[in-house]
Amino acid sequence: MQRQKEPLRPLTVAERAALEQIARAGSERADRVARARALLAVADGARFTDAARAAGRRAGDAVAHVVSRFNTEGVAALAPRHAGGPPVVYDAATRERILREFRRPPERERDGTATWSLTTLQRALRRASDGLPAVSTWTILQTLHDAGYTWQESRTWCHTGTVVRKRKSGPVTVTDPDAAPKKT
C-alpha cells in the first residue's frame, strides 16, 4: 500500500453536510456526486482506490487530485473545470465588449449596414481601436446566443422570448415569461 502524499484535512460540520447533500442528490451532476462520494469515503478512512470504487470510478489518482483541490478550495473543488479542447480565449469582459458593439445601432456610412449581420459585426469589432482583432463569427454567434438573441427570417436579431405585436393602438412588445425554460 502506497502512502498518501496529501491526506484529506479534517472536514468541518458544514462541509460534511454539504458533501452528504450533494452525494444524495438525484438532480445533481454525476461528476459532482462522484467527487462528493469519494471525499466522504476518504473522510471515513478509506484508501484512495477504495474511495474511487465507492464513487463508481476505477483509479485512485483522480481521488488524490480531488483531495488536493478540496484541501485548498473546500466544497468549490467539486465544480468541474475546463475539460480539454482549446483554452477559453474570451472572458466575460470580452463577451460584454461584443454585446456592447452589438447593441450600438450601426451607422450606414461607417459600418456599411443598417442592421448587424455576423460579418458586419465582426468587421466593426476588428476595426475598433478597443476592438478584437482576431474575433471570429462563431464566437460572436455563441456570445449572442448565450445572451438570448436569435437570427430571424427578417434578417434581424431578436431577443428570445420578446416579440413586437401589431395592435389597433400601435405596436406592443410582448414578453414570454417561459422563454428561458423553453430554451433548455
The average confidence (pLDDT) of the chain is: 87
C-alpha cell recorded at residue 167:
395592435
Average the pLDDT over 148-158 and give the result. 76
In whole angstroms, give the CA distance from residue 97 to residue 41: 45
Nearest to 62, CA basis, from 19, 31, 87: 31
What is the model's pLDDT at position 12?
Answer: 93
pLDDT attached to residue 145: 87
pLDDT tens-digit readout, 86-114 = 777 788 899 999 999 999 999 999 988 88
